[in-house]
Amino acid sequence: MRILYVLTSLGIGGAERQTLAHARRMAGRGHQVRLIVLRRLPEEWPAPLPPAALTIDRLDLSKSAAAAVRGLLRARQCLRSFRPGVVHSHGFHANIFARLLRCIAPMPVIVSTVHNVYEGGWRRMLAYRLTNRLSTRTTTVSEAAARRFVLLRAISPRRCLVLPNAIELAEFAPDLRRRVSTRATMGAPGHFVWLAAGRIVPAKDYRTLLRAFARVQGSLPQTRLWIAGEDRANHLPALQSLARELRIDGAVRWLGLRRDLTALLDAADAFVLGSAWEGMPLALAEAMAMAKPVVATDVGGVRELVGGAGVVVPPGNPQALAAAMRQLAAETPSVREALGRAARARIEQGFNLEVRAGEWEQLYQSLIAQRS
């Protein structure tokens, strides 16, 4: 097959990393794979893909209508030269771009993937609704996202399919020596370390997490909170001010943009997600694959992901989040290790990237066959 992926950027977000992982898998399975990237971001991965296997066409779009038209014309040239059997787009901007591209360039199959329960307000939902017929199939990363988008009539029920995110198990595997080394480097001897990972944006609701951690730290002073994530919109100063107000600034480390998440997960004792909304949070799945006990808020596909292998609490409730964090930190190491093993087993059984790649491959083939 010839597969063309369309994505907004090659940034380090979950949607981008998931798309790149599947692109590499499909190339490894012998398919011809190409990518169209709409715009360039400063935090993009260096050399994210093997150049011998994949070609990346960058459109470097701005927000102007003229730039969008130029981008569509350049993308049409790419389609004419590559002649893909499947065009698979990810996220709102890429989904709408690919659908509009279909109006000026023939493509046999177009698959759109929604990565969150919230992808914008009513204007974006209207855009999805008006272009829905241009997508052969729309997939979501969780049942929760599918229900919401169908309810909003942004996706037609007969065109909707749920295919959750998945993890490369070989990449996310615990390493004791790496844990010891990273903890020494980070200066965390004797501390119980909570790790949170994700961009500093309202969706991650770090304000609730800080308030919860203040309650935990008050009764368990040996606990520490590490937060790994970029601050593109300058939300960090207000959060740092809140940490000082709560008198936990000495126990909270803002790690910024990090490319060593596996090492940080090894070093941490547990993972916490305090989000206000999510699709299927990749960082949480990666923590589970690393055999970390997890506490997370019940948003989007979190409950679908965690099952009984972690603790799920209501969103926006620092008291409930603190109680779960405190209880987990107070458990014996053997209990936490058992929870971590259960978490990894759940990823192995239901969120394995090799298995999911096979499911995507079958979907592509079936949609192509239907068009033949």
Give Cβ neighbours of residue 22 (< 8 Å, ≥ 6 apart): 5, 353, 356, 357, 360
Q: What is the pLDDT of residue 169?
A: 94
Mean pLDDT by 10 residues, the chain (372 residues): 94 85 92 92 55 77 87 94 96 96 94 94 96 96 95 94 94 95 92 96 97 96 96 95 97 94 97 96 97 98 96 98 97 96 97 95 96 76
Sign of torsion over alpha carbons 328, 333, 341, 28: positive
Q: Please work out, in degrees rounded to the nearest 5, the angle formed at the alpha carbon of residue 366 by the alpha carbons of 364 and 371.
A: 95
* Predicted TM-score of the model (pTM): 0.92
- CA distances, 340 to each of 50, 114, 124, 309, 325 (Å): 33, 29, 39, 8, 15
Contact 13, 199 (CB under 8 A): yes
Answer yes or no: CATH 3.40.50.720 is held by domain 176-350: no
Contact 324, 232 (CB under 8 A): no
- Per CATH, the number for 2-166+352-371 is 3.40.50.2000
Q: Where in the chain is the domain with CATH 3.40.50.2000?
A: 2-166+352-371, 176-350
Q: What is the pLDDT of residue 10?
A: 84
DSSP string, 244-288: HHTT-TTTEEEEES-S-HHHHHHH-SEEEE--S--BS-HHHHHHH
- CA distances, 247 to each of 218, 239, 240 (Å): 10, 12, 10
3-state secondary structure of 311: strand
Q: Which amino acid is at 77?
A: Q
Tell me the two tokens of residue 346. 């759940």
